[in-house]
A and B are shown apart, each in its own frame.
Chain A
Amino acid sequence: MSFIEVRQISKTFRIARKKSGLKESIKSFFKRDFIHVKAVEDISFSIDEGEIVGYIGPNGAGKSTTIKILSGILIPDSGDCLIDGITPWKNRVEYVKRIGVVFGQRSQLWWDLPAEDTFDLLKDIYEIPEEEYQSTKNDLVNRLNLQDIINIPVRQLSLGQRMRCEIAASLLHNPKILFLDEPTIGLDAVSKQIVRDFIKKLNKEKKITVILTSHDMADITSLSKRIILIGNGHVLYDGSLKKLQNRYECEKYISIKTKDRLFIHKKGIYHKKKTKDGYDLTINTNEISISELLNVISKKITIDDIEIETDNIDNIIVKLYKDYQI
C-alpha cells in the first residue's frame, strides 16, 4: 500500500451552457441548457512517501480538479482515494491537518495585514503549540528569506515576496504532504529559483511528499524525477521524466553553414531546408547516427560551421501534447 493511493477517480461538472447574443440569453433565462463536462475520468496512480511528482497537462486537463479532490475540497463522483490512511473527503478535518496546499492563483494571506498576522491566525486554526510554532516559523523565515517582509501589509508586497509568504503559511503546521498548484505562476526568474531550491531542500530534509503542477517545465525538471501527464481528464503518461526526454531526444536539429549546394537523401533525415547561408536538417538518431551523417555530408561539401541542438523540454511537451492529441 502506497502512501498516496488514487483509484479510478472521476468527476463530472454540470455547466449551464449559454450561447452569446440577446435572443439566446432570453431563451436560456427560461430554459437552462446543461452540459456535463468530465473534468477527470478514471484517474489512478500511487505515490510513495517522500516523492516529488510533477503533475502536468495543458490548461483544462483536470490538474486543478485532481489537486482539489486530493486535498479534500471536491468530492469525486466515483473512485477511491487513500492518503496516509485517510479518505480526504470523508474525514476532511482530520485529513487537512496533514497537508499543506499552495494555490498559486489565490491568496490565503489577509490583504490588509502583515503576513505575520495571518501566520498567527493559522497557528490558532491548526492549534500548533507555541514552541513548535515559533521554531517552525523562524525556520521558514530564514529559509525563505522573509525577515524584512513579514511585517509589511501584504497588499504592499511584490508577487514574488507574497508567494514566498504564501508558501511559508502553508507549511507552518508541518504537513506531511504539500500540494503546489502552480506555485511559480507570474514569478520572475530569481523568485522561481528561490521557490524551487526551497522545495527541493524541504523534500530532502523533512521527507515531505510534494505534488506539483506547473506550466513551467523548468519547475518540473528541476524538482521531480517522475511526472504524471494528464489530458482530457485521463492519465496519459506516468513515469520518469528522463525516459520521456529520451523518447524525444533522438530528434536533433542540425544547422550547417556552407557555401556549397547539398544534395542528400538518406533514411533518418526528415526536414531539409535551405537557409540564407546553409541548411537546416532534422534527423532521428535512431535511424542515422550523427557521426554517420557528418561523414556523408563532409564528403560532399565543405562545412564552415555546424550546430547540433536537442529539443528543450518545452518543445518536448508541445510535441507530447500533439502526439496525445490534447
Chain B
Amino acid sequence: MRAYFTYFKLKFISSLQYRMAALAGIATQFFFGFVYIMVYIAFYESGSHHTPMSMAQVVTYLWLNQALLALVNQFSREEELFKIIKDGGISYELIRPKNLYFMWYFKVIGQRLANVLLRFFPLIIVTSLLPSPFHFGLPASFSHFLLFLFSLVLGTLLVTALTVFYPIVTLTTMNEKGIVNLMISIADILSGIVVPIPFFPTFLQKISSFLPFQYISDLPFQLYVGTISFEKGLFGMMIQFIWIILFLIIGNFFMNQSLKRVTVQGG
C-alpha cells in the first residue's frame, strides 16, 4: 500500500515542477467557467419555462466542474503510460513485484490528485468572493456536503478505473487514439461536463442513468447544490460502487490477458 502512496507523492512532486502549466490550467478554467456561465445567463434571461436548476445552482455546479475538472474529467490521458507501452519502457514496470493494474491505477490517481490540488483552491477562493451572478455558493446542507465528499471520492475511483482501461487496451492495439477518442466523445456528453444532466431530455437522462459516466462528477455536484435528494444520493453512490467494482474486475481481467500476449516494442 505504501508503494502506491509513494507513487502519488512522486507524481505530485513531479507536477509541482511545472508551475507554468498549473498557472495556465487555472487561467483556462476561469475562462471556461465564465464562458459557460454567460451562456446559461443568456439562456435563463431568454425566459425559458422549464429550468431544472436555479441560476445560482447552475453557477455553483459549473464552478465545481471547473475547479475539479482535473480530478474527474475523462479526457486527461496518461501520456506516460501510452509512451512506455509504445517504446518498450514497460519492461521496467513488469519486473516490479507488484500488481501492474494497481500500479497504473495509483499512477493515474496520483496524477489527477496532483493536478487538482494545484488548481482547486485558487479557483474556489476567488469565485466564492465574486458577486452574483458569478458567485460560487455554499452547499445545500451539511448532510448534502458530506454526501458530496463521499460520492466525489467514489467518482474519482470510478473515473480512474475507466481511464486505466485506455492503456490496457493499448497493450493490444499499440495505439490509444481509437479507444480514447471513442470514449471521450461519449463521456464528454453523458458525464454532464458540458451540460449538467438535469438539462438533458428525459429519454437521454434514462439512457445515461444506465451508463457509468454521470456517476463520475454529475452525482457529487448535484448533491452539493442540492438538486438530488439525500435518498437518491445514497442510491446513486451504491451505483457508483457497483460500477467501480465492475471496472476493477474487467480491467484486471483484460490486463492479465494482454500481459500473456505482450510483446515489448523496440528490441
Mark A residues whose CB is within 8 Å of B.
Answer: 13, 59-60, 64, 68, 71-75, 92-94, 96-97, 99, 101, 103, 105-108, 110, 112-113, 117-118, 120-121, 124-127, 153
Task: Please measure, in the bound complex, the distance between the C-alpha atom of A92 and the C-alpha atom of B3, giving whole angstroms.
Answer: 18
Closest beta carbon of chain A to B257's beta carbon, Å: 12
The residue from A92, A99, A117 contacting B13, defined by CB atoms under 8 A apart? A117
Known: A103-B91, A106-B89. A121 touches B14 (CB 8 A): no
Closest to B99 in A: A93
3 closest residue pairs by CB, A with B:
A124-B3, A108-B92, A124-B6
**Cβ-defined contact, B260 with A113, below 8 A:** no
Q: Which of B6, B7, B266 has the most A CB atoms < 10 Å from its CB?
A: B6
Which residues of A sit under 8 angstroms from B89, Cβ to Cβ? 106-107
Closest beta carbon of chain B to A199's beta carbon, Å: 18
Task: Please measure, in the bound complex, the distance between the C-alpha atom of A93 and the C-alpha atom of B96, giving whole angstroms.
Answer: 7
- Does B97 touch A at the CB level, under 8 Å? yes
Closest beta carbon of chain B to A70's beta carbon, Å: 11
Q: Which of B10, B17, B88, B92 has the most A CB atoms < 10 Å from its CB?
A: B92
Task: Please measure, in the bound complex, the distance between the C-alpha atom of A24 and the C-alpha atom of B96, giving whole angstroms.
Answer: 41
Task: Please measure, in the bound complex, the distance between the C-alpha atom of A217 and the C-alpha atom of B7, giving whole angstroms.
Answer: 39
Known: A13-B263, A74-B264. A113 touches B13 (CB 8 A): yes
Which residues of A sit under 8 angstroms from B97, Cβ to Cβ? 93-94, 96-97, 125-126
Closest beta carbon of chain A to B32's beta carbon, Å: 27
**Cβ-defined contact, B92 with A113, below 8 A:** no
- Does B194 touch A at the CB level, under 8 Å? no
Which residues of B sit under 8 angstroms from A127, Cβ to Cβ? 2-3
Residues in B1-37 with C-beta less than 8 Å from chain A:
2-3, 5-7, 10, 13-14, 17
Which residues of B sit under 8 angstroms from A99, Cβ to Cβ? 95
Closest to B2 in A: A124
Closest to B263 in A: A13
The residue from A72, A103, A117 contacting B92, defined by CB atoms under 8 A apart? A103
Known: A113-B13, A124-B6. A105 touches B267 (CB 8 A): yes
Residues in B239-267 with C-beta less than 8 Å from chain A:
260, 262-264, 266-267
Task: Please measure, in the bound complex, the distance between the C-alpha atom of A268 and the C-alpha atom of B162, giving whole angstroms.
Answer: 73
Closest to B5 in A: A124
Known: A107-B89, A112-B17. A72 touches B6 (CB 8 A): no
**Cβ-defined contact, B98 with A117, below 8 A:** no
Question: What are 16 A-B contacts defined by CB distance under 8 Å?
Answer: A13-B263, A60-B267, A68-B91, A73-B91, A74-B262, A74-B264, A93-B97, A103-B91, A106-B92, A107-B89, A108-B92, A117-B13, A121-B10, A124-B6, A125-B6, A126-B97
**Cβ-defined contact, B92 with A121, below 8 A:** no
**Cβ-defined contact, B94 with A73, below 8 A:** yes
Which residues of B sit under 8 angstroms from A73, Cβ to Cβ? 91, 94-95, 262, 264
The residue from A59, A96, A112 contacting B95, defined by CB atoms under 8 A apart? A96
**Cβ-defined contact, B3 with A106, below 8 A:** no
Which residues of A sit under 8 angstroms from B266, Cβ to Cβ? 105
**Cβ-defined contact, A110 with B14, below 8 A:** yes
Closest beta carbon of chain B to A271's beta carbon, Å: 37
Which residues of B sit under 8 angstroms from A118, Cβ to Cβ? 10
The residue from A106, A110, A153 contacting B91, defined by CB atoms under 8 A apart? A106
**Cβ-defined contact, B264 with A125, below 8 A:** no
Closest beta carbon of chain B to A120's beta carbon, Å: 7
Known: A72-B95, A106-B89, A106-B91. A121 touches B267 (CB 8 A): no
Closest beta carbon of chain A to B178's beta carbon, Å: 14
Closest to A182 in B: B267
Which residues of B sit under 8 angstroms from A101, Cβ to Cβ? 91-92, 95
Closest beta carbon of chain A to B225's beta carbon, Å: 38
Which residues of A sit under 8 angstroms from B13, Cβ to Cβ? 113, 117
Closest beta carbon of chain B to A11's beta carbon, Å: 10
Closest beta carbon of chain A to B105's beta carbon, Å: 14
Task: Please measure, in the bound complex, the distance between the C-alpha atom of A199 and the C-alpha atom of B164, giving whole angstroms.
Answer: 38
Closest beta carbon of chain A to B67's beta carbon, Å: 25
Task: Please measure, in the bound complex, the distance between the C-alpha atom of A74 and the C-alpha atom of B263, giving whole angstroms.
Answer: 7
Closest to B11 in A: A110
Closest to A109 in B: B92
The residue from B7, B94, B95 contacting A121, defined by CB atoms under 8 A apart? B7
Task: Please measure, in the bound complex, the distance between the C-alpha atom of A64 and the C-alpha atom of B5, giving whole angstroms.
Answer: 32
Known: A105-B267, A106-B88, A120-B6. A125 touches B14 (CB 8 A): no
**Cβ-defined contact, B260 with A75, below 8 A:** yes
Which residues of B sit under 8 angstroms from A106, Cβ to Cβ? 87-89, 91-92
Closest beta carbon of chain B to A106's beta carbon, Å: 5
Other A-B pairs beyond A93-B97, A106-B89, A120-B6, 19, CB < 8 Å: A13-B263, A71-B94, A71-B95, A94-B97, A96-B95, A105-B88, A105-B266, A105-B267, A106-B91, A106-B92, A107-B92, A113-B10, A117-B13, A124-B2, A124-B5, A125-B96, A125-B97, A127-B3, A153-B17
Task: Please measure, in the bound complex, the distance between the C-alpha atom of A54 and the C-alpha atom of B91, giving whole angstroms.
Answer: 21
